[in-house]
Amino acid sequence: MDTKKEILLDVSELEAPYPLVEAVNALHVLQDDEVLVFRHRMNPQMLFQNILSLGLQYEITKENENEFEMRIYR
């Protein structure tokens, strides 16, 4: 995974539903050699099912108050 190209998606200043819209759009175009670094101000509970349904994997790398980051990849 370390060799994959990082694509940063920071939605922490967007209001609902745009963080979800942006994330789902990015997931659909994510390539095998890419990793999506997703940043938000909160845990995106509605996103996880979408990630799994596309056969993608995720790893939460930061989950503090007002700070959430995860890496999504194939």
CB of 1 or CB of 38, closer to other proteins: 38
In whole angstroms, the minimum distance from the beta carbon of 21 to other proteins comes to 5
Give the span between the Cα atoms of 43 and 1, in whole angstroms.
23
Torsion, Cα 25 31 32 33, to 10 degrees, reads -120
Torsion, Cα 35 63 13 29, to 10 degrees, reads 20
CB of 7 or CB of 20, closer to other proteins: 20
Among 7, 9, 20, 37, binds other proteins (CB under 8 A): 20
Binding site for other proteins (CB under 8 A): 13-17, 20-21, 24-25, 27-28, 41-42, 45-46, 48-50, 53, 65-66
